[in-house]
Amino acid sequence: VIDVNGIITSYGALGENMVSRIKKQLDLAGADARIKAVLLRIDSPGGEVLASEEIALAIREFQEEHNKPVIASMGGLAASGGYYVAAPCRFIVANELTITGSIGVIIQSINMHGLMEKVGVKPVTFKSGKNKDMLSPFNSPESVSEEQKAILQGFIDETYDKFVKVVEDGRKKTGGRNGPLAKELDSDWRDSADGRILSGKQALDLGMVDDLGRTEAELRRVVESDDPFL
């Protein structure tokens, strides 16, 4: 059992962080002949794009190299990056009331320009290029150029397209996902990939998860009985 709890991040002390921990656990599971499958227990609202991608890639490589399935078990929350790391798993189980989905990318900045003007504080900035201080909290919202808006939106769109591809590739009924219990994405699933959250039941209807309500004990029994979804 590998836990993905809280914000997905690559930050940590002395080189230890969520990404490195999960990679080490997968390496141990791959090297242990007694382990038939990995249960990825997710309770996360998401987090960093790169950290989510590194975990998802480690899961794909583990399944390909060791021919052992990773089964995602969603807790109360598996949204955004929490769903990103579930997408490449061989089988995804949620509860009806799991909060999932939130397929999207967001960049935010708090702007303090008006407050600073009110108290008489004026920032002084030296920069090497006109776009170096994009999203600076000290600039007025009106000072954001159309070029800067296009740069930021282009980054968001590129990252979003990557997210969608991870989902579509992970949910294909190929390889180990040929079993009868594996769900395919609904043809209209992208209509719901607009950042909205989904219940576990809604995600099942869209083919984003494969099953509802199985407990950890039930999943262990399925693995031991060589259920065809594996």
Distance, in Å, from the CA atom of 40 to the CA atom of 91, rounded to the nearest integer, reads 10
Strand (E) or helix (H) holding 197: strand 197-199
Q: Check 132, 149, 165, 172 and give the catalytic one.
A: 132
The angle formed by the CA atoms of residues 165, 181 and 174, to the nearest 5 degrees, is 40
Distance, in Å, from the CA atom of 77 to the CA atom of 100, rounded to the nearest integer, reads 6
Q: Is 80 a catalytic residue?
A: yes
Classify strands 99-101 and 197-199 as parallel, antiparallel or unpaired: antiparallel
Q: What DSSP character marks residue 42?
A: E
Q: Check 44, 52, 80, 102 and give the catalytic one.
A: 80
Contact call for residues 166 and 193 (beta carbons, < 8 A)? no
Residues designated as active site: 80, 132
